[in-house]
Amino acid sequence: MITLQNIEKRFGDAVILKDISLSLPEGTVTALVGPSGGGKSTLLRCVNLLEQPYSGAVQIGNDRIDFRPGEKPRWRDIQKIRQQTGMVFQNFQLFPHRTAIENVMEGLIVVQKWSRQKARDRALELLTKVGMDHKADAWPSNLSGGQQQRVAIARALAPSPQVLLCDEPTSALDPELAAEVVDVLARLARDGTTMVMATHDLRLASQIAGRVVFLEAGSVVETGSPAEIFRSPTNGRTKRFVSSINAAQSF
């Protein structure tokens, strides 16, 4: 279970997230959608504390941190939260001087202190899971964008995190390559992987998520199932957003 309680995030005097409270059960997939600048990526990064809230609380499983203005949380408490998350970034962020399998192995060897053979076995298992075992020894520069993102997903899954966080996982890809990534994420969802994703790709949200959270100006405007949000939203702002991208014709 992931619990966000009264999260507020500020950059200087600008309030980016305003009193956000969400509970995300284990084994579910939640999509954060909304216009650019609405707070999707910032909220996602607050889950693993790449961005630390100004106030509020973040809890994953039994580990919880309460944030208060002017108080700095302990580093070991931050690490406990981060160790339970895996992050997939928009632009892949693979190490260019490491092969696909070495990219997946790196964190297991350096951070987890696994032996190279144990890390290699785990990496090959995950590359197989995302359909990339045949490219295990390829360099990132020789992989397509969709292939690089699938390697990045395998890398995020390597330490067996409690939750997989995906920040615009398909936005840097053309539709054909994006479909490869959607297929991988859909398989993970069917396997019961807990996921939270910030996305502009409403097809991705519709196909994979069980719950959609619509954010604007740092606030939760509406939540519901993909069908509720994309076909029959109740909030006027959600209706305008869905209509503006012609989403009603896509679901």
Would you kindly state where each structural domain of the chain is located, as residue ranges?
2-84+164-249, 95-160
**Per-residue pLDDT tens over the stretch 120-150:** 999 999 999 999 999 999 999 999 999 999 9
Dihedral (CA of 50, 56, 60, 64) sign: positive
Mean pLDDT of 177-183: 87
For residue 249, name the pLDDT band (cuts at 50, 70, 90). Answer: very low
Lowest mean pLDDT among 120-129, 209-218, 230-239: 230-239
Q: Which CATH architecture has domain 2-84+164-249?
A: 3-Layer(aba) Sandwich (3.40)
pTM: 0.89
